[in-house]
Structure 1
């Protein structure tokens, strides 16, 4: 063990030369002496500030400091020493408590420091929250939360000094999921895949048996390529999709499209995971590549897709040294003093270097030494693999390792494990209701590595393990009962979220957003099982969720379920037609009014006064859109009278907003404002969040007409916060566009351009259903296209992630 390395709390400093390949090409033989000067200048600075050089690779330094203040001072001095030269160096600092071994430091803090450095630009010094907490805020600029390329949870990043640089190279503009741990090994494979997708290959499929780490490698490749794909990098998980015919809709909805044909010339990368169980849908990938002439696909599958242009990349298990590093890192998570030995290395060989098998074995090292664990493996694996000669040897090893972990559970835990296979991810509440779980037993499965905790108090079962769990569930005789409980639980949750206008209580989109994949699984099961009424009830209860996320996904589920659901007249059928009307309205389709009329007729026949009044309001909106204001008023008056008779305030809020729109169109602006304000107040009082946002934007438009843009911006601030809370993407963009108009009206063209540029970038990344850049209410923004101040802001906005644009807009309103 190196005796010069600081221990305990240590601050790491990583450096890297920006554009080294370009500099080598430009400077030729002159680059080597400049690189040597850069190294010497930094070494002198690090030594002067008591830094210890841990490693040097090429043009990058890894230095450790016992004091965070010394590390920050060294970074500042190093930047100053290089400021006049042609070499730009980015630096990253992070503080943690790493483990010191013979080879140096190990642990997640080392990975984190390196990733912070890689997010910066030449001349930029970035600092983690942990380091900032030790050195204080002086001289540091808060850059906000950023996801780094190790796919970890967001990290608040600070910059030393006030210099302006391009946006950080972070993952804020992608849906790649957060990884539990950094990628161990796979450097060559990662380089190969990034090179293939950065070159001429348009479809790369990582193949290999379950448990080889295909998903983790694909996610890391996607993270490395985020900056190369201006149209975005999208993760499309197919683990929860059991029917090939659902794949096109899943791909389209994940990337924000109605149809795959809308990809056009977007430069996007789709990371499509777990394709092996829906291989009949492989032509969908061909359709993606045909529709998106500049898009590419990185797929993972146990078998190739067998379509033209595919570049298969077979993934082998980890080599011995990487397998040992992975097992050691995971073992130290449960036993910090764990030291690998020859028995540890032999465990890796016995498990064929399969990452998932190693993950499952690691928890046993909490209480067993490597030799004792190896002895148990030698006894159990031959027995468990002997009966599966039809499977490849490595797959038998993985299945046997999962089975071994399963057989170590007591019967009650085995039963719980099988039941939990129905979930994509889940909360403890869901596990209790569906699988009769409790926390102690969930913890036991986590300790066995059969479950993984994720952010937000949720749990995840990896797909290969989940397949085993579902096998056990099918043979248990409980499958139908558990799937039924699963669907009923999410129906109850959807109803508690109050996402129909006539529901009691405040809208709770936040309850449903993290359960999207479980909802899909429940809807798919009800379709397979022929339980149309249950499926339609679930889809209908999610009415406003579909409107704020993907109206066409809701429409597809309802159209699949209608033939096996109840016939008219029934409340479930009538609500399903109304939901179809919503989707058609947002898409501007011709059948929208007819669907609303059919729904209204059914509710009238059923004698349902409340839903009849809601239907009248929807049809009044249609009449208003086509310019029949007299008919719109008659329908609205009838709806309002009914709502007031029954005391239904949500309904009254909606109709008052429509009446306000009629007054605004007639030129009675103050009267319109009064109605909008009453509508907003009632919506807020009743938790009708979606309509509150709508009424606030209507107020803002009216304030613009009254030449009171500051008051309009105040209303839009609240509307934007509501849209964000609901996950309402179209609402977010429309509100940002109106805030750009507010900036124009107040003379702040750079801000207007910045917001508009961010909107354009977001729509280019993933088209937004219903977005209309030519809407009359934002037309004043377009009049400034070409203005130098506006265009400068617009250019800057094109590099601004939408969440940063939201923060910019809110800050501008607050002054």
Structure 2
């Protein structure tokens, strides 16, 4: 960590690179936690569209705008509102748009430093690369035994444990997934079961999966050791973007082999096995699935032919959430509504995109974009709202009421922008 801190002192752009699961985000989080200066942390993994990179940055920095300016212009015109360090985590699927934005920010804002975290460089002049290697043998064993202890299992440092850590190439995520199985299997049994289970899946989509053999092995083998209910929930959770709460999971993922009453128990098992992570916030616990783990679940969901149905359930939940928030906006719960919408934006965007790319659902996209008027108008997201609204009203839905509401909100947004 000292070496990374030194790199940031000597370069304005440092990119931590390494394979998925090697601990890049964790290292960056530890670094900024030890920094005395302010920083902005931007989660780019949930962002699916390159045009929303600048929106995600502005959102993470708490910048709102009620003019026709783009988020990029707002960032550049308000340097006093920016922290001295900007962390961009999980940018690799949006590398081009991220590099373009970073280049302009660094050129126009001389006091800014950027720490990028991803599997590849941004490719910009002056970029200092900080490749993160997997753990060494002793470090890997220490992490594995510590995670085992957290599971209530005592594991001694011995030949089988060292061979297991070696076979998993010292990748922290792979080691944690393996340690999550020690309540049921011994290290010797885990060694016997090692194998690349990704071969069970055929067809496309492999570009979304981690390229490192040991990590692919650990994820596939962890999936194989799940119960049928755990595998089912793992696959269904892949439709979420960013974080999600228990209520959403119970609605979206239950049914057809998984009772709503069982969702909490199955979710808790996936948490214990490090398949998902828990984040505690003011509104209660939320859960997150790493993109490498989620990509595997998405493949299984597609193989089961269930992706479209789950995406419709996801859409329906967030349509309902938007409707509830709209009703509660003018109430004593307005602050709660604003906070809820902010944390749910990745999922709301995913639902909007799904609606607006399926002609038969155009009216639902218009309904959702219109219901979120308070988000666009009251929470300083006029430019983003205008994008969604213009896309929605351009579609012929056959439902005049939903289209008229979207048109009305679009007009209101345009008036406010001036």
TM-score tier (shorter):
0.7 to 0.9
Q: Deviations over 1:685-713 (max 9, x none)?
A: xxxxxxxxxxxxxxxxxxxxxxxxxxxxx
Determine if the alignment matches structure 1 residue 246 to structure 2 residue 75.
no
Q: Which residue of 1 aligns with 2:28?
A: 218
Corresponding pairs, count: 388
Q: Give the TM-score taking structure 1 as reference length.
A: 0.44
Q: Which residue of 2 aligns with 1:459?
A: 287
The 3 A distance-change label for structure 1 pair 522 and 441 is: same
Q: Deviations over 1:155-183 (max 9, x none)?
A: xxxxxxxxxxxxxxxxxxxxxxxxxxxxx
Q: CA separation in 2, counterparts of 1:394 and 1:479?
A: 23
Determine if contact 1:499/1:544 at 8 Å carries over to the other structure. no
Q: Deviations over 1:143-201 (max 9, x none)?
A: xxxxxxxxxxxxxxxxxxxxxxxxxxxxxxxxxxxxxxxxxxxxxxx2122112222x1
Structure 1: gaps (5+ residues)? 1-189, 591-815
Determine if the alignment matches structure 1 residue 563 to structure 2 residue 379.
no
Q: Which residue of 1 aligns with 2:19?
A: 209
The 3 A distance-change label for structure 1 pair 428 and 496 is: same
Q: Which residue of 2 aligns with 1:476?
A: 304
Q: Which residue of 1 aligns with 2:245?
A: 427
Q: Which residue of 2 aligns with 1:367?
A: 184
Matches within 5 A, 1:717-732: none
Aligned match for 1:573, one of 381, 386, 403: 403
- Cα deviation, residue 296, structure 1: 1.7
Determine if contact 2:148/2:154 at 8 Å carries over to the other structure. no
Q: Name the SS for the 2:326 alignment partner.
A: coil
- Cα deviation, residue 333, structure 1: 0.9
- Cα deviation, residue 407, structure 1: 1.5
Aligned match for 1:518, one of 347, 350, 371: 347
Q: Name the SS for the 1:564 alignment partner.
A: coil
- Cα deviation, residue 387, structure 1: 10
Q: CA separation in 1, counterparts of 2:347 and 2:201?
A: 34
Q: Which residue of 1 aligns with 2:213?
A: 396
Q: Give the TM-score taking structure 2 as reference length.
A: 0.83
Determine if contact 2:22/2:132 at 8 Å carries over to the other structure. yes
The 3 A distance-change label for structure 1 pair 483 and 408 is: same
The 3 A distance-change label for structure 1 pair 562 and 308 is: farther
Q: CA separation in 1, counterparts of 2:332 and 2:396?
A: 28
Q: CA separation in 1, counterparts of 2:253 and 2:201?
A: 30
The 3 A distance-change label for structure 1 pair 419 and 385 is: closer
Determine if the alignment matches structure 1 residue 541 to structure 2 residue 371.
yes
Q: CA separation in 2, counterparts of 1:551 and 1:402?
A: 38
Determine if contact 1:279/1:305 at 8 Å carries over to the other structure. yes
Q: Name the SS for the 1:453 alignment partner.
A: strand
Q: CA separation in 1, counterparts of 2:121 and 2:27?
A: 17
Please give the root-mean-square deviation of Cα atoms over the aligned residues, in Å.
Answer: 3.0
Determine if contact 1:500/1:541 at 8 Å carries over to the other structure. no
Q: Answer with 1 or 2: which has the greater Rg.
A: 1
- Cα deviation, residue 336, structure 1: 5.2
Q: CA separation in 2, counterparts of 1:349 and 1:565?
A: 58
Q: Which residue of 1 aligns with 2:87?
A: 271
Matches within 5 A, 1:252-291: 252-257=58-63, 258=71, 259=73, 260-264=75-79, 266-281=82-97, 282-291=99-108
- Cα deviation, residue 511, structure 1: 4.5
Aligned match for 1:323, one of 119, 135, 140: 140
Determine if the alignment matches structure 1 residue 191 to structure 2 residue 7.
no
Q: Name the SS for the 1:346 alignment partner.
A: helix
Q: Runs (4+) of structure 1 moved beyond 4 Å?
A: 383-388, 390-394, 503-508, 581-586
Determine if contact 1:498/1:505 at 8 Å carries over to the other structure. no
Determine if the alignment matches structure 1 residue 442 to structure 2 residue 271.
no
Matches within 5 A, 1:578-597: 578-581=408-411, 583-584=413-414, 589-590=417-418
Determine if contact 2:84/2:113 at 8 Å carries over to the other structure. yes
Determine if contact 1:384/1:403 at 8 Å carries over to the other structure. yes
The 3 A distance-change label for structure 1 pair 480 and 505 is: farther
Q: Which residue of 1 aligns with 2:167?
A: 350
- Cα deviation, residue 445, structure 1: 2.0
Q: Name the SS for the 1:304 alignment partner.
A: coil
- Cα deviation, residue 458, structure 1: 2.2
The 3 A distance-change label for structure 1 pair 249 and 560 is: farther
The 3 A distance-change label for structure 1 pair 207 and 386 is: farther
Structure 2: gaps (5+ residues)? 64-70
Higher relative contact order (CA 8 A, sep 6+): 2
